[in-house]
Structure 1
Amino acid sequence: MSLDTVVEDIREEAHARAEDIRDDAESRATEIESAAEEDAEEILADAEREVEREVEQLREQRLSSAKLEAKQKRLEARRDVLSDVREQVESALVDLEGDSREELTRDLLESASVEFDEGDDVSVYGRTDDQDLLESILADYDGYEYAGEYDCLGGVVVESDQSRVRVNNTFDSVLEDVWEDNLQEISNRLFEQ
């Protein structure tokens, strides 16, 4: 065997070996590329699911926010209507005249008078516009006297130093009690659901 033959055999063996290494490298590269593509597809699918989840969550948040805002506007509108109704009632009480005003004022004074002992000096306060009415009613009560103005829609505030009692029987206080006790019913009638 000659040296050329040995060199040629080594060269062929090296080429074969190089070919095997290249085939293994290409096979390995194909496996790595395939695995990378699978990973990329999985990452893309995960990202798409995450985006869909975030979009759905954002949609739900906006929907909830819109519902809450609508509810708040409905409640605000209801408060405005209830406030208007209350103002109309107060206006009607201020405008109440004649026998109706006298009868209500007498009833409120009579109701307050049970809190005082006979012989007490009783001071009665009322709306400035009701002074003449109050003085004429107080003529029927011994020891009762009109003591001055009280800022109210009508009715009386009655007090006595001897009994140390003060009774607020104004239209305002009665309206407040009736309003609070019946607010739910008033609301239900105004906003039948």
Structure 2
Amino acid sequence: MSLDTVVEDIRDEARARAEEIRSEGEARAEEIIADAEADAERIVEEREAAVEKQIAQEREQTLSSAKLEAKQQRLEARRDVLQQVRDQVEAELAALGGQKREALTRSLLDAASEEFDEGATVQVYGRAADEALLTKILADYDGYSFAGEYDCLGGVVVESTSSRVRVNNTFDSVLADVWEENLKELSTRLFDQ
């Protein structure tokens, strides 16, 4: 064998080995690219899923927030309506006159009188505008006298210095009790459909 032949065999062998290495390199590169593309696709899908989840959460939070705000506005509107109703009732009680006012005042004074011993000295307070009415009514009660003004819609505040008992039978206190006892029913009648 000649030296040329040996050189040529080595070159062929080197070319074959180089081709084999290049083929392996290309195969490995394709494998790496395929893995990278698969990873990229998986990452894109994960990110898209994360974004969709975040959008869904933000949508749910926005919806919940809007529902809560609407509920608060409804409750506030209901409170406003209930306050308007109460204001109207108070205005009507304050404007009440004549025999009806006298009958209610007498009834409240009679109920308060049950708390005091017979013959006790009793002081009665009432609305400034009701002084004449109270003085007229108190003429029928022994030991009772008009003692002065009390800031209220009407009715009486009755007290005795001897027993240190004070009874608040004003229209305001009766309205507060009735309002508290019937608020749920009133709300149901006004707002339930």
Shorter-normalised TM range: over 0.9
Deviation at 1:106, TM superposition (A): 0.2
- Normalising by structure 2, what TM-score? 0.97
RMSD, matched Cα = 0.9
Matches within 5 A, 1:44-63: 44-63=44-63
Deviation at 1:2, TM superposition (A): 2.3
Deviation at 1:5, TM superposition (A): 2.1
Question: Gapped runs of 5+ residues in structure 2?
Answer: none
SS at match of 1:146: strand
SS at match of 2:86: helix
- Normalising by structure 1, what TM-score? 0.97
Deviations 1:13-49 (A, max 9, x none): 1111111000000001111111111111111111111
Amino acid at match of 1:64: S
CA distance in 1, matches of 2:74, 2:190: 13
Matches within 5 A, 1:53-92: 53-92=53-92
CA distance in 1, matches of 2:85, 2:96: 16
Divergent runs of 4+, >6 A: none
Amino acid at match of 2:130: D
Question: Gapped runs of 5+ residues in structure 1?
Answer: none
Matches within 5 A, 1:90-169: 90-169=90-169
Identity score, percent = 69
CA distance in 2, matches of 1:191, 1:28: 75
Deviations 1:59-103 (A, max 9, x none): 111111111111111111111111000000000000000000000
Aligned partner of 2:27 in structure 1 is 27
Aligned partner of 2:11 in structure 1 is 11
CA distance in 1, matches of 2:179, 2:154: 16
CA distance in 1, matches of 2:118, 2:12: 137
Amino acid at match of 1:84: Q
Amino acid at match of 2:65: S
CA distance in 2, matches of 1:151, 1:3: 131
Aligned partner of 1:179 in structure 2 is 179
